[in-house]
Amino acid sequence: TGTAGLEHVIPQGFRAMSIPVSQPEQELKLFSPGSRIDVIATVQERSGYFRTGTILEDVLLLMKEAMDVPGRGKQISFIIAVDPKGAEKMALAVGHGEVRVVLRQEEDDSLLDSTGVSISDLIKGMGADEESIKAYEESFEPGSMEVLRGTRKTTEYFDENALNKARSRLVGNER
């Protein structure tokens, strides 16, 4: 799918930005150009815990693209209209987390007042008592490693599930 002429449909003061989305292709069929969406990101906090939150709301979907990525299959990207500040948020979320999109009702212009949600918040919401929540949080011992990318050094945090997932990917690639 080409993007030629896309500059004519970008609203004044906005930018077109391509974002990869981490959702099943079947689910993404619900979205079409002109849809209004919210963008949700899941990132790992320095503590090692994950937090999910809505980072952009009521965003115009300009178009969808699908590409075959070697070793990963089909990757769906959305091209969205964002203001410059929204583009900065998206760049950070895409570079350090997982991005999902949700479809808005076309006349819904309400905005969310939320600081996001963590695993502990989910456990609390399921009615767990404080003792169980504390036991869960204390049992979580995230690991970390320094990663060199060219001249840039970062610290990556992970938990046992993420480590096992990475190991299984490596084993799967060796076959």
Helices (H) and strands (E) in the chain — how many of each?
5, 8
pLDDT digits (tens, 9 = 90+) for 18-39: 998 878 878 888 899 999 999 9
Residue 50 and residue 159: Cα distance in Å, rounded?
10
At residue 128, does pLDDT exceed 70? yes
| 2, 17, 24, 40, 75 from 72: Cα distances, Å | 22, 22, 13, 22, 7
Find residue 19's DSSP bridge partners. 78
Q: For residue 156, what pLDDT is reported?
A: 67
Residue 115's identity, in one-letter code, is T
pLDDT reading at 160 higher than 60:
no
Amino acid at residue number 174: E
pLDDT at 174: 42
Mean pLDDT (the chain) is: 80
Buried b (16+ CB within 10 A) or exposed e, 156-166: ebbbeebeeee
Residue 99 carries which side chain, given as an amino acid letter? V
Please name the residue that has the structure tokens 């299984």: 168
Q: Give 173 or 85, the one with higher predicted confidence.
A: 85
Both tokens of residue 44?
A: 């790992």
What letter does residue 140 receive in the DSSP assignment?
Answer: -
Average pLDDT over residues 102-108: 89
